[in-house]
Amino acid sequence: MQDKVIVGAIGGAFGVHGEVRLKSFCAQPEAIAAYAPLTDASGRSYPAIRLTGATKGALTARIDGIATREEAEALKGTQLYAERARLPEPDEEEYYHSDLEGLTVVDTGGAEIGTVRAVQNHGAGDLLEIAVPGRSATLLLPFTMEVVPAVDLAAGRLVVDPPEGAL
CA 125/CA 53 separation, integer angstroms: 27
Model pTM score? 0.75
CA 145/CA 140 separation, integer angstroms: 15
Which has the closest alpha carbon to 53: 33, 70, 72? 33
CATH 3.40.50.720 for domain 97-160, yes or no, is: no
Query: 111-160: per-residue pLDDT in tens?
Result: 999 999 999 877 778 899 999 998 888 999 999 999 999 999 989 999 99
Residue ranges of the domains in the chain?
Answer: 4-86, 97-160
Neighbour count for residue 67 (Cβ, 10 Å): 12
CA 142/CA 150 separation, integer angstroms: 13
CATH 2.102.10.10 for domain 4-86, yes or no, is: no
Q: At residue 9, what is the residue type? A: A
Q: Residue 159 has what pLDDT?
A: 95
CA 22/CA 61 separation, integer angstroms: 7
